[in-house]
Amino acid sequence: MPKHLPFMSIGVICYNDGATLKRAIDSLLALNYPRKKSEIILVDDGSTDNTREIAESYKTRIKYIRLPKNQGISAARNAGLKAATGEIYVNCDADCVVNKDWLRQLAKGYKLNEPIGIGGRLAEIETEEKQSILRQYIGARGGGFPPVVEDEKDRAQSTPSPFKRLWRYITSNLSQANASIKAPIEVTDLYGANASFPVKV
């Protein structure tokens, strides 16, 4: 465990996710990370459901930012980043539930040699709801291992095409679907719902 626990600003992106939002916030409030070392920023991307009422029920326990209209996930994440006061900006989505040691595990990664981002796996939550195509895809791949960097040429390339990224996800699944990560691995992509970055980056 790092001796220095960085201040983590958790940006929770929400658009008409009232059905899952309370579950997500409650899991974040239950983290075993010092409360004085973290903050929760809920970015409401122009929701038209009961998102605002849910957010306001938490009073001072979260920062609530409401965008006047739906602007998309990139704008919402950037709004959360702008409001962040921590050293590390952590991405989370309103339909996620985090493990109690989530922030502590991410913090371990920042003991490494100046990483530009630290992330983890995604695992499907068992529900009776119909799964989206994305959720089915993540579940089929064994929990969402990001693809490993193959060589220096790949690292130097600009953002790969969607087809190349899909191919990397599929091929990485073949070798890692049933693997258990015992040590950090270098990757080319981080999942948006489980990614963190130094604010200075």
pLDDT at 117 over 70: yes
CA distance 7 to 38: 5
Contact present, 61 and 31 (Cβ < 8 Å): no
Q: Tell me: the pLDDT tens digits for 73-85?
A: 999 999 999 999 9
- Give the N- to C-terminal CA distance of the chain in Å, as an integer: 23
Q: Tell me: the pLDDT tens digits for 55-66?
A: 999 988 999 999
Could you tell me the pTM of the whole model?
0.74
The pLDDT score that the predictor gives to residue 3 is: 59
Q: Tell me: the pLDDT tens digits for 67-111?
A: 999 999 999 999 999 999 999 999 999 999 999 999 999 999 998
The pLDDT score that the predictor gives to residue 8 is: 97
Phi, psi torsion values for 191, nearest 5 degrees: -70, 130
